[in-house]
Structure 1
Amino acid sequence: MSTAPISPGRPTSPDSAPAHEFSAPLLVPTRAGMTGPWALAERARRNPDGALIARKASLGRSWRDMSATAFRTQVREVAAGLVARGLMPGDAVGIMARTSYEWTLLDFAAWEAGLVVVPVYETSSAEQARWILTDAGVRLVVVEDATMETMLTSLTGTAPELADLHVLSIARGALTDLVMDGKDIDAADLDRRTARLTSADPATIVYTSGTTGRPKGAELTHGNLIHLAVNACAHLPEFLQAEQVRTLLFLPLAHVLGRFIELLVVCSPRGVLGHTPDVKNLVTDLSTFRPTFVTAVPRIFEKIYNAADARSTGPKQKIFRMAAETAIAYSRALDAPGGPRRTLRAERAIFDRLVFSALRDLLGGRVTHVISGGGPLGERLGHFYRGAGVTVLEGYGLTETSAPCTVNRPAATLIGTVGQPLPGTAVRLDDDGEILLKGIGVLGRYRNNPEATAEAFTPDGWLRTGDLGSFTAEGFLRITGRKKEIIVTAGGKNVAPAALEDRLRSHPLVSQVLVVGDARPCVGALITLDAEMLSGWLAGHGLEDMDPVEAARDPRVRSALERAVSRANRAVSRAESIRTFTVLPGDFTVANGLLTPSLKVRRAQALDRFADQIDALYTRAIS
């Protein structure tokens, strides 16, 4: 790797290295003492009375600010209770709850007590929870409500390895009990525990939700998380070091991206973090919290766009679609020499008053940047949002990289890519195009799984991602597909399904898409309908209301989907285009096991479950 000084955040391709490798130097030097407790103590020292947390009032729509000092005091009170429960440094503590203030409080309290946090998705089954709690050696788990408490308590009676597991419920006063338990713990004991922590110590074990196989426990250290967070804050000063930095977290904190945003706010000099557990109330919460930036998975941005399109009918829909095309053209022109022409700027200004301002109001009215991660956003949506006045900074990362390893920046954005390497990160393309990674966020090992650890790294220490990509000359990374998901048709054509799936999901009717065709004569697709959008779309097209099962059989709905497939096919060659498809009567969901908690399709499970439907696709195509 090159060690020559370069401008902050600018990626380099070392003189001695080929152009398929780029890296970025650290902006903030790392030290062994940088841990979770250190980050919170630093925030309280630098801005003791400034707000760090905003909590929604139990009644009404207002938010109450909590200072960094007040939050740290509560953290230490809960940490003392964990110590009083007999937990020793290095012990594992589980958290099973929706995104909430209590989740963040428990996260930092466990670190203050020298413990290792093990997230469990609130949607996990008993079998999944049993595996995670057993593999991680969890001694105590805090759950949100009675349903989760009942499920885990039953495990202590049926799973011998969990017989000694203690289950506490937030709904039944677990946090108050912990504070009371900890009143006799000497503060010096906590100080000794945090003083012994180093950046090399494990901070959390995050189990990959996994599209196939049993989840693996990625051991992430305090250094992985905090070194990356402090460098990301320096890398993105435009909205992480601004006078107003507010974000409303609705991603699950069991997901590494949600956790990373939590840490970003703590490491930001003036960041304020709010929580909302239920996306059904998201628009209302955004309007009252008024964030300056938000983070979401691509499906959220797709749904906002599709909802705006579906709510419009007749002339209003025509205006929205004209506005969308103008936004996309305006954003593309920003990247061209000379920028947008005068007439395009004027058109964009008109649509800003008619359409775009209302869209920004949906995000709270003050959002200037949104971070998209967890999957590919799609170039068209990226241009639409930027043209509408909200810059989408798409990034890329894995559980194994503590969240992002590349990201677009306000000062260096190329829509359609996932940006350039973050400080302290190197990205390389293998001979077959697989993305390989090294850096401060990359895990050292999987929990209790030396075989998986060995398989995850190349002989010279690069993490294998399983993703395929390419670089621009400036080091912007473009994701082109998943190595294991490449479809090879009977005719020998290699097809990356993601591009077609992304384009089809942009249609208001479509919820999920699974492109198929491995060893088949042509490419096909399984499509599910978006139940939330369906009624609005039907009404807007003068059709009677029907449920998804009826709509899946309706020739008028199919005709609309045929047009959507034809539009998606324009982006690929004829040999790669979708030639046959079917509409499934039900959607892919987390509950039925076909989506991961981060809303990725579990491809292997879906292929197995719908094997008969896939066979029928090709029977029809051939006949």
Structure 2
Amino acid sequence: MTETQALIENRPPSVATILLERVEATPGAEAYRYPVPAPSGQGPETWASLTWGQAAERVFAIAAGLVELGVQPEERVALSSATRVEWILTDLGVLCSGAATTTIYPSTNAEETAFILSDSESRVLIAENAAQLAKARQHRAELPGLAHVVVVEEADAVPAEGDPEGWVLSLAELERRGAARLAAEPGAVRERIEGLRSDQLATLIYTSGTTGRPKGVRLPHDTWSYMARAIQATEMVRPDDVQFLWLPLAHVFGKVLTCSQISTGHVTAVDGRQDRIAENLRVVRPTYMAAVPRVFEKVYNGVATKAREGGGAKYKIFRWAAEVAREYAKASQDNFRRTGTTAVPFGLATKHKIADALVYAKIREAFGGRLRACVSGASALPPDIGYFFSGAGIHILEGYGLTETSAASFVNPGEAYRTGTVGKPLPGTEVRIADDGEILLRGPGVMAGYHRLPEKTAEVLESDGWFHTGDIGELSPDGYLRITDRKKDLIKTSGGKYVAPTEVEGRFKALCPFVSNAVVHGADRNYCTALIALDEPTLMSWAVEHDLAGKPYAEVVADPRTVELIEGYVQRVNEGLQRWQTIKKFRLLPRDLDVEHGELTPSLKLKRPAVERRYQHLIEEMYEGAREA
């Protein structure tokens, strides 16, 4: 048995056990960093730290507090909060109490929050603040099983008229009760941890979905302990890493990062405020970070915009450097595949060195200057964006997984990463491609099923453990997976031709620095069209240079000069497509797509049906009087 096999096959039944091992091994090592506001706004905020020993003390107090509230093993405790250190501590507290965490995005509206609380039969809700408390209070009559709401922000833990006695309490109070319970019964939490089974429910994550009610994905303890050990075995993260964690922890991608950290023992700096990402990168100076593709697209567009604002010469240098970066990345990756080294031809290396001094070094500094690798997941990263960052020294390791597979089923392996693929399966995960191209997965990371939905479970999970992902892909001879599209998103035109919309959309986003989102349409139509949303900061910067300064965004979008600008990029994209893939017509949307209007999921995935429904009139307009094309 290899060392990797032993690490995975001998894994503990739960991440709670891995936490005990971590605390025993490195109690005084730094575990978490988190921002602390200055009192009364006096001066800038600072960052505080928790050692593994200190973190465990709080986790055990929370777990004991839940036991004191009467929470039983496998009962659900819901958690509705933005990404912050308390999210991690309370989630671990729930696991150590033997209960299961129901994750809820803080952006979820009151009605859907109530549905999740009801469907999951959650006994306790841990709410970040007054806004999250208000959602539960609004629907309290429909939630007779919700016994308590624990509020993280102590000042917001205020009972209201009509609340049952003891229904609202603060997280600090829960920890005080837990500490008292542990003083009287020191082994209370350890007994719960020792009683955990690998098949016991640990987490219930509701998929956002594109239509209808979300489905609860049941993930037992073993999925997380497997993920922790499998990611550790890949050496993708190291004990001396500093991770910057800002992703939504209600999402499976964020959640898996907390598990792998405990197994590896590195430091994680936690702050989910997206408007602080750029500043936090300079302060934290991470060596490792995970993000969704939209973040890298925005960074690329921002760099291109600054170069354009600097004048023609500066923009010309940037465009040259961008092409050099892509050429360098492709050459070094191709050579590594053949020879195991990243050497490139002398002339290209010389150009790259010049471009590095002029452009790339500044980009790396914007990421903190120490970034060893980034992991990108949740949706596809346009290859041209990936090659650009690779050539600039920001190594993006694309990965792949679903909520139903505990997030990480594939990841690119370190130096051997290949842009445009999602890498190889994690140790212990099996993959095969069905006759119709669908990716099937089997392994310890696969869910137990959908909560209270056996018929839906049977549709995707075979009796022998193979899970149908709904994604189309292809495997290289040496095991690298490339995702080509969602099975249900493939377009078949009225002429019988298949089009992968995400491929066309990805090409457009990589080529056009002004685009934020694009939705290609064409199912049962005789040609393809696109709805295009533009990136507001980039567009408004361009507007200043074209006598449109001071005009509102919607007016700039509607201006004929803007339409002409985007038309040029559409034509350039079409040059690289098959005739039936080309975008014959497009419409610019009056605003960007967003989560609030239900057009993007909280992890920024496109809700294609929702967008098409909202802008059906624009789609029909593009097909009025259409003839065969």
Say if 2:153 and 2:171, in contact at 8 Å, map to a contact too.
no
Report sequence identity in percent. Answer: 36
Residue of 71, 77, 87 corresponding to 1:87 = 71
- 1:125-145, CA deviations, whole angstroms, 9 ceiling, x for partnerless residues? 112111111111101101111
Match of 2:29 in 1: 50
Amino acid at match of 2:314: K
1:552 to 548, 557, 577: 557
Cα pair distance change 1:292/1:541, threshold 3 Å:
farther
Structure 2: distance between partners of 1:333 and 1:540: 37
Question: 1:541 Cα deviation (Å)?
Answer: 5.6
TM-score normalised by the chain length of structure 1: 0.92
Q: CA RMSD in A?
A: 1.8
Greater shift, 162-171 or 316-325, is seen at: 162-171
Is the CA contact (8 Å cut-off) linking 2:124 and 2:148 kept in structure 1?
A: yes
2:245 pairs, out of 239, 245, 249, with 249
- Decide whether the 8 Å contact of 2:110 with 2:138 is kept in 1: no
Letter in 1 for 2:223: N
Q: Distance in 1 between matches of 2:137 and 2:497?
A: 52
The question of whether the paired residues in 2 share the 8 Å contact of 1:61 and 1:288 is answered with no
Tell me, in whole angstroms, the C-alpha distance in 1 between the residues paired with 2:111 and 2:571: 42
1:462-516 CA distances to partner (integer Å, 9 max, x unpaired)?
Answer: 1001100011111100001111111111111111100111122232221111110
For 1:335 and 1:611, how far apart are their aligned partners in 2? 43
**Rounded Cα–Cα distance in structure 2 between residues aligned with 1:541 and 1:272:** 47
Match of 2:280 in 1: 285
Q: Is the 8 A contact 2:333 2:417 kept in 1?
A: no
Counterpart Cα distance in 2 of 1:616 and 1:488? 20
Q: Is 1:267 matched with 2:251?
A: no
Q: Which amino acid is the alignment partner of residue 55 of structure 1?
A: Y
- Match of 1:218, SS state, is strand
Matches within 5 A, 1:98-247: 98-157=82-141, 159=142, 161-162=143-144, 164-172=146-154, 174-185=170-181, 186-235=185-234, 237=235, 239-242=236-239, 244-247=240-243
Query: 2:330 matched to 1:332?
Result: yes
Question: 1:20 aligns to what?
Answer: none
State how 1:290-301 maps to structure 2 within 5 Å: 290-301=285-296
Deviates most, 147-156 or 476-485 = 147-156
Contact 2:543–2:556 (CA<8 Å) still a contact in 1? no
Q: Which whole-Å CA distance do the structure 2 matches of 1:621 and 1:557 have between them?
A: 25
In the TM superposition, residue 566 of structure 1 has moved relative to its aligned partner by 2.0
Q: In the alignment, is the contact (CA less than 8 A) between 1:260 and 1:403 conserved in 2?
A: yes
Please say if residues 32 and 200 of structure 1, whose CA atoms lie closer than 8 Å, have aligned partners that are also in contact: no
Q: 1:43 to 1:305 in 2, by over 3 A?
A: same
Q: CA deviation at 1:543?
A: 4.9
Out of 380, 402, 405, the position equivalent to 1:401 is: 405
Deviation of 1:31 (Å): 4.2
Q: Contact (CA 8 Å) 2:410, 2:422: kept in 1 or not?
A: yes
Q: CA deviation at 1:373?
A: 0.1
For 1:488-567, list aligned pairs within 5 A.
Answer: 488-506=492-510, 507-539=512-544, 543-567=548-572
* Counterpart amino acid of residue 306 in structure 1: N
Distance 1:317 1:598 in 2: 32
The Cα shift of 1:572 comes to 2.2
**SS at the partner of 1:600?**
coil
1:41-62 deviation line (CA, Å, top 9, x unaligned): 1111121211111122323354
Distance 2:280 2:13 in 1: 33
Q: Which runs of 5+ in 1 are unaligned?
A: 9-24
May I ask how many residue pairs the two structures share in their alignment? 596
- 3-state secondary structure, aligned to 2:401: strand
1:412-423 aligned within 5 A:
412-423=416-427
What is the CA distance between 1:619 and its match in structure 2?
1.3
1:252 aligns to what SS in structure 2?
A: coil
With a CA cutoff of 8 Å and minimum separation of 6, indicate the structure with the bigger relative contact order. 1
| SS of residue paired to 1:364 | coil
Counterpart Cα distance in 2 of 1:540 and 1:413? 40
TM-score (norm 2): 0.92
Is the alpha carbon distance of 1:499 and 1:541 closer, same or farther for their aligned partners in structure 2, counting shifts above 3 Å? farther
The AA in structure 1 aligned to 2:83 is T
- Encode CA deviations 1:518-549: one digit per residue, 9 max, x unaligned: 11110000111212322223235665353331
The 8 Å contact of residues 11 and 225 in structure 2, kept in 1 or not, is answered as: no
* 1:33–1:198 Cα contact (<8 Å) kept: no
Query: What are the Cα deviations for residues 249-290 of structure 1, in whole angstroms up to 9, with x where unaligned?
Result: 111000000001111111113x11111121111111111111
C-alpha separation in 2, matches of 1:326 and 1:498 = 26
Question: Structure 1 residues 27 and 508 mapped into 2: Cα distance closer, same or farther (>3 Å)?
Answer: farther
Provide Cα deviations, 1:295-323, integer angstroms capped at 9, x if missing partner: 00000000000011012222222211111
Contact preservation (8 Å) 2:409, 2:425: yes
